Structure 1
């Protein structure tokens, strides 16, 4: 899925397997419940689910993590497609409730992120990096500086560069004559040379080199190559009237 929870879901899964309710859903208090599926509770039980209500009666949003018993299959067969021509998970859960079956809520303790958009992914990356402790197991030459909470994984090599944490440099990554700024995750086997990267995620096997401007607020996919190409000679062609004045920026 595209949800990230600070404390994971292991405890919730164990509790669901032990108690065996018809369903178990995770909820979180949000400031803008009209943007989410919302749960209404009564005496600790879920009594109603509403998808993106215009006037929410609760600020408890569905986090997007659900656990179901076999009863859910009957509910799926009973519901009808929505206006989107899809079988909605909230409708199936509501059917469990309407049949008197237990839908157990758990309110998430700690942060959670719906990482469906770039800014959400970067924010999740920031939250995770902020929890790390400094650990340097790769090779860092004497001309480089490692500042703050930085993880350098085994096999990574950093030369003539600055890495300012929180940041992580993955295994076998190579950083040369570059600047890696805060809240940046460099994954395994990435190569960065003569470039600056900040507040970004660079996935496995990517290469960034010879850039005149900083890469920031970015998500770079696996095996992507970003590099500077030689500037082609340019020519100007004019048809100017009398007494014209033209300023050209270099």
Structure 2
């Protein structure tokens, strides 16, 4: 059995961060989201992985390499434009050959992994198996409608008026029958080959398609609130591990990880929180559910429920919360009077200030 991991796409909901970075590489608890998926695939006993990449392919390839760090053998497949999930299957035909496979959307996050899903598919005689979970805003997802006996009677991709609240989770298992399906369908109104249309084709042509409900935690990390929630969930499970330097004036409470080379001086850190390697925290407060990347500097700052990527500086700012700060960002207090805000903000950004 093989795996097809989708690591392309535009990441429009996380702009401007994803103008310069792949959305799958945004970190949760200081580890890229994509890594969690690759580890889940390995833990399910799959080693042959095809990774679909697009405009950010060079960055993804640099981060993942040949896959050996994960115990995988990775092949990269370039998609010239985001033409749909079914199009990804179409262009991966040579790699997938005639083996069953898992298709894993690289920006999805499942706490319990995919071993149970893969095992159930291996033991059954399905041509496709989809994961479902109830969501509050189904219009942002592929949506499934089930009949009275749990059978799939309809699938829609991001419908304006959803017929149910059952979102299709971004992990699928397929038999080689899916290759005939993706060749048979036409682009949707969005101009994409939709995987929901391909699965519908399988159902209409008498193929066995099964649905399975997610029992654990799942998120599509395409939005700020989802990233922060995933970060919270992972941090809830960390074990304290202080390998950096903490002076006697600092107060470290709860589950806190301080990586090697990090320095904490006259500061308060309340876990769960992760402080990256070679980061310096001075006269500052780091609150719960916060991940600070490597090589950052916090001075006279207060940060809580946030993700801060590497090499960024936060100085003289209180109180920063519910935030995602990119790499090499500088957030500082405006000098002098009056008490003003000074901003230089790129396209597709969002800034909230207290008036």
TM-score, L = length of structure 2? 0.59
Corresponding residue of 2:108: 3
Question: C-alpha deviations, 1:18-48, integer Å up to 9, x for none?
Answer: 5463222111123454553322345555343
> What's the CA shift for 1:109?
0.7
Q: Do the aligned partners of residues 204 and 90 (structure 1) sit closer, same or farther apart at CA in structure 2, a change above 3 Å counting?
A: same
Whether the 8 Å CA contact 2:297–2:311 is kept in 1: the answer is yes
Q: 1:40 aligns with which of 123, 145, 151?
A: 145
Corresponding residue of 1:66: 172
Question: C-alpha deviations, 1:21-77, integer Å up to 9, x for none?
Answer: 322211112345455332234555534323337362x44321122222322222112
Q: Do the aligned partners of residues 171 and 20 (structure 1) sit closer, same or farther apart at CA in structure 2, a change above 3 Å counting?
A: farther
Within a 5 Å distance, the mapping from 1:96-175 to structure 2 comes to 96-175=202-281
Corresponding residue of 1:245: none
Q: Do the aligned partners of residues 139 and 100 (structure 1) sit closer, same or farther apart at CA in structure 2, a change above 3 Å counting?
A: same
Give the CA RMSD over aligned residues: 2.6
> What's the CA shift for 1:161?
0.6
Corresponding residue of 1:202: 308
Corresponding residue of 1:54: 161
Distance in 1, Cα, partners of 2:140 & 2:337: 48
Rg (Cα) greater in structure: 1
Corresponding residue of 1:88: 194
Corresponding residue of 2:10: none
Aligned length: 232
Question: C-alpha deviations, 1:184-219, integer Å up to 9, x for none?
Answer: 11122222222111111011222222x243221111
> What's the CA shift for 1:85?
1.8
- The higher relative CO (CA closer than 8 Å, separation ≥ 6) is in 2
Question: C-alpha deviations, 1:165-197, integer Å up to 9, x for none?
Answer: 121112222211111111111122222222111
> What's the CA shift for 1:224?
2.0
Whether the 8 Å CA contact 2:132–2:211 is kept in 1: the answer is yes
Distance in 1, Cα, partners of 2:136 & 2:228: 20
Residues 1:23 and 2:128 aligned together: yes
Which ranges of structure 2 fall in alignment gaps of 5 or more residues? 1-105, 339-355
Which ranges of structure 1 fall in alignment gaps of 5 or more residues? 234-250
Corresponding residue of 1:237: none
Whether the 8 Å CA contact 1:38–1:53 is kept in 2: the answer is no
